[in-house]
Structure 1
Amino acid sequence: MKIVFVTSLKGGVGKSFIASGIAKYLSKKGFSTVLIDADVDSPNISEIFPIEKKLDDIQLVQIDDNLYCFSFGYLFDAVSMSSRQYVNMIKDLLHLADVSDVDYIIFDMPAGASDIAKFLFNYPGVAVTVGIPDRWKDLERMLTILNIHQVACACVVENFAGVICSNCGYYNEYDDENFVKVCEKFKVPIACKIPISDDIKLMVESGFEAVDVEEFDYFKKIVEYVDKTEPMKKLDLSDIVEVVRKKLPKIVAKTIKEINKRKLDLGIGGTINELIILHDGKVILSFVFEYDPEQRKIIVHRDANKKIDCRIFVELETLIKIILGYINVETAYLMGQIYTEGVVMKKVIKLFRKLSDQMRCEISQIIKQCAGLDKK
């Protein structure tokens, strides 16, 4: 079974069209395919593949011989639902429908990195990311999010890549070298460039019935990239946690000693700070320190009753990813994986950058050995 996440940073780029097209193409080729609309705020799959009346319960709807769909829109009209509730609904659907024997599951993902997306990214799947030429920054951010969650991106689809004239058939293609540069930076291929055309419009409006989806090379190319892309190996922390738990206090102490020796400016003078490292919501290490900007020296406090001005929280997995270079400190902070009480953003970033640089020297090889990442 292959799981495919069709993603984009923002809505309105044709993500549902691409997800539906992939699903329809696969079903036409004889593969049993399940298409799940995971976008609770904009359940467009129910409009592309409509049903006559609303469902009474959570279930898959058979669209053709090999294609089954589920959308929030099959149950309700526009209703606000919490992400947690919809995650539970998807869990129930996957359990009740017994999808273990299907060939492909396609998720039309919510835009960006919502709680629903974070839950689904735990499944071993690959992504197809949809972007449009003039929003290359959105593409860059979405590919960064996939890296953070360790989801391999099979390819990028450049949608709205031009216009085909309805009268003369002239194709006016939009070129944006920055879009191409982003794909090159992340080493992700552009599978196809899809223009605005009457055929595409008719395809969507008819639920892919008026136009034969197999005649279009777009979806064939996308599926080819999907099939040759393997899910990214998730970082297994099971062996790392105990090693880090035992070694981290010494490593932190050595890191502080090195910072003091080099007299690095941390930019957080005049406050008592507490750094708290968590794993599965539990504190595995915390220490209270003060930075003397004149001496450029970190002073560790042993007094548990010391008044704390600022607290900095970081999950162990995030710390390891930063040390290994999977993500940078700025991204981790903006994604909420480093969170704080009473600390200015720039100060947190500066502090963590210094700490992670020093920790990397001490711990990166240990982590790689534990995770098996040092094996070729």
Structure 2
Amino acid sequence: METPGVTRMPRRTLRDWLVDTLLFLFAAVLGIVTAAERLGMPDPVTPVLFGLDQLVGVLGCGALWLRRRWPVELALVLVVLSAFSELVGGATLVALFTVAVHRSVRTTMTIFGLSLLTALVFALVRQGPGETRETLFLLAAALQTAATGWGMLVHHRRRLLETLKETAVRAEAEAQQRVREAIAREIHDVLGHRLSLLSVHAGALEFNPDASPDDVSRAATVIRQSAHQALQDLREVIGVLRAPVEELSQASLDRIRELVAESRRAGMTVHLTMDLDGAAVPGRAGHTGYRIVQEGLTNARKHAPGAEVSVRVSGTPGEWLAIEVRNAVTEAASPGGTPGQGQGLAGLAERVQPVGGRLKYGPDGDDAWALSAWLPWPP
């Protein structure tokens, strides 16, 4: 049962146990070697002081098993003890390394500065035979600098790896979001166009109950064909859900004449002008241009039924591809209008902006409404 307000430390992994054991052995071996060297000196320190130094060294090495839970507190205690104890030096180096790995640079540098001060104190009070204060201080400072620098290197490497991982996760999420938005635009454009055709023909049957059997049959045929084509288009979009955004559809300017023909069969009067000098428009520009014309025809059919529509596509490779869909403004309302008004134009803006193009739409004087776009046309 967990105690409220107490944070449980995560269990050590096999790697953690291995690292902790190696660092403990490093501190212990360094203490043993230092003690052996001290005993080999001609005038060793007094037995009482040497025994106390050994006890502090053993306790310091044992305390290293707590370094993950209290790294700063342990480092402070060991650094202070290192001002008088020579054999706790190995444990102090491990504690400095631990703080540098797991704590901020500011905390690390504060404790490192304190360790330099205690190294100076040690050089003043524990100078042995044949040793100079300068040598003792420089040796201690070099070891402490190496331990702290190594720990900071590990710390920044881990931070870099975490940042790269977060960046990769964020980039993947953004890519998935772009795919979802692209799929939503495709479904809106495809089904919006087809459903508006269905709405026109169904509305004609509803408002013309005295239509001849031939007219009803023709309308029913168009409705069936449009519904079938809508399903085909939807299958095409669903079939490429895992494909890159650029592969979501094969629609291009070559199919604009099919769009115009469908609109004419729905009763619209559409004048098409294509001035491309026989040049083929490349994939993304052609696909975007196709969707612009499709959205323009769909909007004219929904919001200006019965109005004449002019579609003009022109351009030159290496310059711009210009597209304009213009229709007269009428007061009639489309029967059975489809929902989602305004979403198509917002989707067009999202299509045009990434390719470096421009989009303009709105009233154009003389009771006309125009949708215009300019797309870069690679040479």
- Asked whether the two chains share a fold, i.e. TM above 0.5, the reply is no
**Which structure is larger by alpha-carbon Rg, 1 or 2?**
2
Larger % of strand: which? 1
Tell me the TM-score normalised to structure 1 length: 0.19
Tell me the TM-score normalised to structure 2 length: 0.19
